[in-house]
């Protein structure tokens, strides 16, 4: 049986692999989990002994298929819990990440199934992150791009936002920058501010570049077509 900490490491490695590709460096894992490099190195050795990661000295680690399956199961639990807490227990989307972190290791497969059925087997969580299927097959390729990489005049649809900063989530919700919202990029300042306006709205929102970089978007399907959060998430 794996410890909660081991599962957290596997989930972190999967997340970092999804963003940057394998192998994942010790320093990146340490930064992501707020651990010291020696602590990470020690844990990676334990995961390697269990056949959950392949490790190459000086390059980093990559999940084995078994390790990937564990990570996907934890992610499925986490993201279903986020959706459940938001939809049925009146949690805000800025509160659910830490709560789901505490619960994800301790729910049964029957509980997971019932939650999924109650929610109608959603494909994304409240932040737009994809929920792995019950078959725990690897998630498909992410073809979204950071909002920070777009230019003035681009029209994009918010696909997902990072859930790791509560204050940032509260700010984005107040600004109306949520998954499914169609945005026009109206200005990109040379010193790291991206100004956007939701289609159909008059007010503009200026986002620091670091915040814009944490927002994943896709190109709007048609320059005259507006998208609402409910439509984009299949609600």
Domains and CATH numbers, the chain: 4-63 (1.10.10.10), 145-219 (2.30.30.90)
- Asked if residue 23 has a cis previous peptide bond (ω within 30° of 0), the answer is yes
Q: What was the pLDDT predicted at 226?
A: 47
Q: Cβ(79)–Cβ(131) under 8 Å?
A: yes
Dihedral of CA 199/205/209/212: which sign? negative
Q: What was the pLDDT predicted at 140?
A: 81
Q: Cβ(159)–Cβ(218) under 8 Å?
A: yes
Segment holding 198, helix H or strand E: strand 193-198
Q: What was the pLDDT predicted at 223?
A: 52
User: Which two tokens mark 106?
Assistant: 């301790």
* Burial track 109-141 (b if 16+ CB lie within 10 A, e otherwise): eeebeebbeebeebebbbbbbbbbeeeeeeeee
Of 154, 205, 200, residue with least CA distance to 177: 205
Contacts (Cβ under 8 Å, ≥6 apart) of 171: 211
For 62, list phi and psi in degrees, rounded to 5.
-140, 140
Contacts (Cβ under 8 Å, ≥6 apart) of 116: 80, 122, 134
Could you give the C-alpha distances from 225 to 144, 181, 199, 200, 201, in angstroms and in order? 19, 12, 9, 11, 14
Q: What was the pLDDT predicted at 58?
A: 82
Name 124's bridge partners: 130
What is the block-wise mean pLDDT of the chain (235 residues), using blocks of 10 residues?
95 92 94 96 96 92 97 97 97 93 95 97 95 92 91 96 89 91 94 90 91 93 54 44
For 17, list phi and psi in degrees, rounded to 5.
-60, -40
Q: Cβ(232)–Cβ(175) under 8 Å?
A: no
Query: pTM to 2 decimals?
Result: 0.85
Give the count of alpha carbons within 13 A of 116, CB side only: 19
3-state secondary structure of 167: helix
């Amino acid at each position: 049986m794996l410890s909660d900490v081991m599962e957290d490491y596997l989930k972190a490695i999967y997340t970092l692999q999804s963003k940057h590709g394998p192998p994942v460096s010790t320093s990146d894992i340490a930064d992501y989990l707020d651990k010291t490099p020696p602590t990470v190195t020690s844990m990676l050795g334990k995961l390697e002994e269990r056949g959950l990661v392949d490790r190459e000295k000086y390059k980093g680690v990559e999940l084995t298929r078994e390790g990937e399956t564990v990570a996907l199961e934890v992610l499925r639990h986490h993201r279903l819990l986020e959706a459940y807490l938001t939809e049925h227990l009146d949690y805000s989307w800025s509160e659910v990440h830490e709560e789901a972190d505490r619960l994800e290791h301790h729910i049964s497969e029957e509980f997971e199934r019932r939650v999924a059925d109650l929610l109608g087997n959603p494909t994304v969580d409240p932040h737009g992150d994809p929920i792995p299927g019950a078959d725990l097959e690897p998630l498909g390729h992410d073809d979204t791009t950071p909002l920070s990489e777009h230019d003035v005049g681009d029209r994009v649809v918010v696909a997902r936002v990072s859930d790791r900063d509560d204050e940032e989530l509260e700010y984005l919700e107040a600004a109306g920058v949520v998954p499914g919202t169609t945005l026009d990029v109206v200005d990109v300042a040379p010193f790291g501010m991206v100004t956007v306006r939701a289609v159909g709205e008059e007010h503009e929102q200026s986002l620091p570049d670091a915040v814009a970089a944490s927002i994943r978007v896709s190109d709007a399907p048609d320059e005259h077509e507006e998208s609402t959060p409910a439509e984009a998430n299949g609600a």
